[in-house]
Structure 1
Amino acid sequence: MHEAAAFSEYIIYADESGSPVLGADASDFPIFVLVFLIVRKSYYAGSLVPQFQALKFETVGHDQLILHERDIRRQSGAFAFLQVSVQTRAAFIGRLTKMIEEADIHLCCAIIDKEKLAERYSDPWSPYDLALTFCIEKAAKFLQSEGENGHAVHVLFEARGQKEDRHLELEFRRIAAGQPKIGRALPVIQSFNWQPMFVDKRSNSTGLQIADLAARPLGLAYLRPDQENRAAKVLQHKMVFPHPKCFP
């Protein structure tokens, strides 16, 4: 059995928006966005999860509703009830936004501009690998500032498939071991015992759902800086560093 002190007081949930494949979604969303949601475990279990469970019970009568940004935006699937009226949709979105605004959470975000990446490099690295490097670095610096050095830090990803998960875990462990594809090895990253985990899409993880809700709005703020984006404004105040890491 592990000693409780070996575990970090924080947990990280990761999710993305956009395809990591160069050339995919070129006209609609030509970027790849990765978000790390960092949250203290005691707050997560004692306050954040119960709040989101309550929202689900009050909205649909059960807690199996999975907050998926795409379905909410399209008012489809389990969120078809948002089509009932403008008032219904506004009330739900307003409450969800307020909950995230008031939540004691911290975000790291990396945005890879795939068009610029392809233009600048003849044989560019995977946008996912690049974003992962940047997010781990930012998360490590935050955890270090919280005195978490030497602790085991679990990072939860939504499972995408055996091949994809195997590649991601390999790249994650390479970065954690001080062998990033970009830049140089940072001692701060190696100060932690990183533990990547891959979670089934049906797990109904509150942390993964919040990370999913954050990724696209932050990406849209990069693509369309002059467009009104209330969600992105709320999320900006949760950033570990003032702005997402944009590359190249």
Structure 2
Amino acid sequence: MPDIGSERGFSDFVVYVDESGDHGMVNVDPNYPVFVLAFCIFYKGHYLTRVVPSLQKLKFDYFGHDLVILHEHEIRKEKGDFRLFKDRADKQAFMGRLSTLIDDSNFILASCVIEKHRLSSRDELDNPYHLALRHCLETLFDFVKEKAQEELVTHVIVEKRGAKEDDELELEFRRICDGDNKYQRDLPFSIRMAAKASNSAGLQLADLVARPIGRHVLNPAQPNQAFDVLKRKFYCEGGRQAVGDGYDQWGLKHLP
């Protein structure tokens, strides 16, 4: 079967984006003074055949249907649909299943963590979201160039937040892709906004990975089982076979 997607100018990859923390600078939460942006880069073939079916199976097993939307905050606080756990062991079994699903899902992570309490320059203080977005898009370009797909369009899917915020984000996204980046060239990315109700598997996985990244940057010495799974997925200098923390300030940027 011909690759219709590439014939139409689309790359083999799709990116799902989510955030953790507040990007506002007025009232910085002393317990979580960071803003995290996480790009989950999926090979479309793997996403269709492995990731989506695995997530649907998890939902049918635990909820009996697939309308539940996995949300890290609600799972952690056991709110809404996630009040179903019979006891601590039941929740731990669910979390173990979720961790295995993420571990088995073959995606690449590109993330940027803004330590808001350490920012100083005027440009940085203006909008941590825009600062993180630029770094993540530049890393994404490094990745698609490595895969020889820099001439094809890769779609970047972000969750809707509100009309004003969405308009500002789309404007900033297009400005970066129109040349306001460290490469000073057009970047081959197209943004799409999706409502949470779209029940996108990719957006839900992006939601689950963002907070563990922020917790790791805030306190690297603290045990963080979720991050231990994720650190094998970061885009690395030297490729996926790189050892140690080759992802640091590469696939995982933290500023300043």
- State the distance in 2 between where 1:88 and 1:19 align: 31
| One-letter amino acid matched to 1:66 | I
Whichever residue aligns with residue 127 of structure 2, its letter is S
Cα distance in 2 for residues equivalent to 1:145 and 1:185: 15
Cα deviation code 1:60-90 (max 9, x no counterpart): 10001111000011011110113x2111001
Deviation at 1:26, TM superposition (A): 2.1
Contact 2:178/2:187 (CA < 8 Å) preserved in 1? no
Q: What is the count of residue pairs matched by the alignment?
A: 237
1:44 paired to 2:47: yes
State the 1:225 CA deviation. 1.4
Deviating beyond 4 angstroms after TM superposition, the runs of 4 or more aligned structure 1 residues are none
3-state SS of 1:9 partner = strand
CA spacing shift, 1:164–1:64, aligned 2, 3 Å: same
User: Partner residue of 2:177?
Assistant: 176
Amino acid across the alignment from 2:229: V
1:31 paired with 2:34, answer yes
Matched with 2:226 is 231
Q: Following the alignment from structure 2 to structure 1, what is the Cα–Cα distance between the partners of residues 29 and 114? A: 13
The alignment's TM-score, normalised by the length of structure 2, stands at 0.89
Output aligned runs, 1:57-206, within 5 Å.
Answer: 57-82=60-85, 84-117=86-119, 120-122=120-122, 124-180=125-181, 184-187=182-185, 190-192=186-188, 194-206=189-201
Note the alpha carbon deviations across 1:3-36, whole angstroms, 9 max, x for none: 6320111000000000000143422211100000
Contact map agreement 1:112 1:127 (CA 8 A) in 2: yes
Contact 2:109–2:235 (8 Å) recurs in 1: yes
Partner of 1:54: 57
- Amino acid corresponding to residue 75 of structure 1 in structure 2: E
CA distance 1:30–1:175, shift in 2 (3 Å): same
Matching residue's letter, 1:246? H
TM-score normalised to structure 1 length? 0.92
Retained in 2: the 8 A contact 1:18–1:25?
Answer: no
**Aligned CA distance change for structure 1 residues 191 and 23 (closer, same or farther; 3 Å):** closer
Distance in 2 between the 1:14 and 1:147 partners? 22
Paired with 2:68 and 2:148, the residues of 1 have a C-alpha distance of 36
CA–CA separation in structure 1 for the residues paired with 2:204 and 2:5: 26
Deviation at 1:201, TM superposition (A): 1.3
Question: What letter corresponds to residue 17 of structure 2 in structure 1?
Answer: A
Deviation at 1:125, TM superposition (A): 2.8
Structure 1 position 122, deviation (Å): 4.2
Aligned mates of 1:111, 1:191 — CA distance in 2: 22
Task: Please list every run of 5 or more consecutive structure 1 residues that lacks an aligned counterpart in the other structure.
Answer: none
Aligned-residue CA RMSD in angstroms? 1.3
- In structure 2, distance between residues paired with 1:247 and 1:148: 28
Distance, in Å, in 2 between the alignment partners of 1:132 and 1:92 is 32
Please report how far the alpha carbon of residue 149 of structure 1 lies from its aligned counterpart in structure 2 after TM superposition: 1.6
Instruction: Give CA-to-partner distance per residue, 1:74-116, whole Å, 9 cap, x none.
Output: 011110113x211100100001001111211111000001111
Partners of 2:37 and 2:132 within 8 A in 1:
yes
Cα distance between partner residues in 1 of 2:115 and 2:122:
15
Corresponding residue for residue 246 of structure 1:
254
| 2: CA distance, partners of 1:179 / 1:29 | 30
